[in-house]
Structure 1
Amino acid sequence: MRIGILGGTFDPVHYGHLRPAAEVWQQLQLDQLWLMPNNIPPHKQQASASAEQRLTMLQLAAAHFPQLTINAVELERTTLSYSVTTLQQLRQKHPQDMFYFVMGTDSLVSLTSWQSWHELFNLCHLVVCYRDGWQLQADNPLYGEWQQRQLSPAQHLANIRQGRGKNSGDIIMVDVAPQPYSSTALRKAIATDDWQLCKEAVPTEVLDYILAQQLYRN
Structure 2
Amino acid sequence: MSEIPALHALFGGTFDPIHYGHLRPVEALARQVGLQQVTLLPNNLPPHRPQPAASAAQRVAMVKLAIADRPLFRLDERELQRATPSWTVETLAELRLERGDRQPLAFIIGQDSLLSLHTWHRWQDLLSLCHLLVCQRPGYATKMESAELQQWLDAHLTDDTTLLHRQPAGLIFLADTPLVPVSATEIRQRRRRGESLDDLLPPAVTAFIDREGLYSE
TM-score after normalising by structure 1:
0.91
Q: Cα RMSD over matched residues?
A: 1.5
CA 1:183/1:104 → structure 2, altered by over 3 Å: closer, same or farther?
same
User: Aligned to 1:5, what secondary structure does the other structure show?
Assistant: strand
- Determine if the alignment matches structure 1 residue 117 to structure 2 residue 123: yes
Amino acid at match of 2:152: E
Residue number among 41, 50, 61 corresponding to 1:56 in the alignment: 61
1:37 paired residue number: 42
1:181 paired residue number: 182
5 Å matches for 1:8-87?
Answer: 8-87=13-92
1:213 paired residue number: 212
Task: Single out whichever of 135-144 and 114-123 deviates more from structure 2.
Answer: 135-144
Q: Gaps (5+ residues) in structure 1?
A: none
CA 1:167/1:5 → structure 2, altered by over 3 Å: closer, same or farther?
same
Query: Following TM superposition, by how much is the alpha carbon of 1:88 offset from its aligned partner in structure 2, in angstroms?
Result: 0.4
- Determine if the alignment matches structure 1 residue 171 to structure 2 residue 172: yes
CA 1:199/1:150 → structure 2, altered by over 3 Å: closer, same or farther?
same
CA distance in 2, matches of 1:210, 1:45: 20
User: Aligned to 1:18, what secondary structure does the other structure show?
Assistant: helix
1:145 paired residue number: 152
TM-score after normalising by structure 2:
0.92
2:3 paired residue number: none
Amino acid at match of 2:171: D
**Deviations for 1:71-115, whole angstroms, at most 9, x for unmatched residues?**
111111110000000000000111142211111111100000000
Q: Percent identity?
A: 36
What is the number of residues matched between the two proteins?
Answer: 210
Q: Does the aligned pair in 1 maintain the 2:8–2:105 contact within 8 Å?
A: yes
Q: Gaps (5+ residues) in structure 2?
A: 1-5
Moved over 4 A (4+): none
Amino acid at match of 1:90: L
Query: Following TM superposition, by how much is the alpha carbon of 1:141 offset from its aligned partner in structure 2, in angstroms?
Result: 4.0
CA distance in 2, matches of 1:87, 1:4: 11
